Amino acid sequence: MPAQHEFQPDWRDQLVSAVPVSRLFWIAALSLTLGGNALFVVNQASFYILGQSVANLGTVLCIDWCIRNFDSFTGRLLNWRPIVHIGVLSYSLYLWQNCFLNPDWDAWPAKLPVNLLLAYVMAVASYHIVEQPVLRLRRRMRV
C-alpha cells in the first residue's frame, strides 16, 4: 500500500494565492476589459487580433476578484437574490432572447417592455418545464 502523502499544493495553487486581491487589481482587470473592447471602436482589425484576448483576460480577472471578494459591494451585489435568479435563468434567457429582443421585428412582442417580460416568462417556463425535468432525469440515470 502506498504511503499517504501530505497535500502539496502545485504551482497553480501557489500562483493563484500569490495574486493580490486589492482595489488596484480590480482597477487593472477592469481596465484590461474596457481597453480590449475599446479597440473595436479604434480599429476593428486590432480588436480581433489583440483586443478580444485582452478583454477576455480582464473579464477572467474581474470574475476572479469578485469570487475572492464576495463580501465587497460588488460581491454582495452579485449575490443579491434578483441577480442570482437571473443567473439561474441565464441559459434559458440566452435561448429566448433572440425571439423577443430582435430589432428587425416591428410587432408588439418585440417592443419594450413587453419583449423583456415575454423573454423572462418564456425563460422561466422553459427552465421549469424542460431544464429541471431533464436535469432530474440525468441525476436518476447516473445512480
Enter the C-alpha cell of residue 57: 483576460
- The pLDDT, as a whole number, for residue 56 is 95
- Choosing from 49, 71, 93, the residue where a domain stops is 71
Contact partners, residue 116, CB within 8 Å, separation at least 6? 100, 101
- In this model, does residue 19 exceed pLDDT 80? no
- Choosing from 71, 89, 112, the residue where a domain stops is 71
- The pLDDT, as a whole number, for residue 70 is 84
Contact (CB, 8 A) for 58 and 88: no
Q: How many domains does the chain have?
A: 2
Dist CA 77 CA 123 (whole Å):
22
- Give per-residue pLDDT as tens, 29-56: 989 999 999 999 999 999 999 999 999 9
Together in a domain, 63 and 87: no
Check: pTM over 0.85? Answer yes or no. no
